[in-house]
């Protein structure tokens, strides 16, 4: 939390306690309504609304304090990139994810299904922190 407070003091950070999110960043448009960070004990999970989420962990028992700090840095890097519009969050039907514009579209997280696949809207929707993201070759 001290690192989040230091880096994101001007982002409307709302602090919480487990089992709820430990940090929530509200947004200004309906595409991305909020980003939350959850401390799950053995990993940190970053959620972008009900669109997608990513797990940040070493997955190794008994990691050192320095290794824990690396995971925290990775978690902090995500909202930094998101707030700078360097990350696109997407949804198509019942699937969602995010990718970095800096890394040529390489995804930071896996595709995460949500909701009911049958009868879902099949349009690709993409958002940056500031609003809808449109690429000329995508429809």
Q: What residue segments make up the domains of the chain, in order of their start?
A: 2-85, 88-132
* Residue for token pair 């958002």: 127
Give the pLDDT band (50/70/90) at residue 96: confident
Residues 27-55, mean pLDDT to the nearest whole number: 89
Q: What is the pLDDT of residues 51-85, one digit of tens each?
A: 889 999 877 777 888 888 888 999 999 999 999 99
Per-residue pLDDT for 107 more than 70? no
Q: What is the pLDDT of residue 61?
A: 74
Would you state the pLDDT for residue 105?
53
> Mean pLDDT score of the chain, rounded to an integer?
82
Q: pLDDT at residue 112 above 50?
A: no
Q: What is the pLDDT of residue 135?
A: 64
């Amino acid at each position: 939390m001290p690192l989040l407070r230091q880096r994101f003091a001007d982002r409307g950070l709302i602090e919480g306690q487990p089992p709820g999110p430990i940090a929530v960043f509200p947004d200004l448009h309906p595409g991305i309504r909020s980003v939350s960070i959850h401390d799950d004990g053995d990993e940190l999970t970053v959620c972008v609304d009900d669109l997608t989420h990513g797990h940040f962990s070493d997955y190794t028992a008994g990691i050192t304090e320095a290794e824990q700090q690396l995971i925290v840095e990775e978690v902090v890097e995500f909202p930094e990139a998101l707030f700078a519009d360097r990350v696109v969050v997407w949804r198509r039907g019942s699937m969602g994810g995010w990718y970095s514009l800096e890394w040529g579209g390489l995804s930071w997280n896996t595709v995460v299904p949500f909701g009911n696949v049958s009868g879902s809207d099949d349009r690709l929707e993409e958002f940056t922190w500031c609003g809808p993201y449109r690429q000329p070759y995508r429809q």
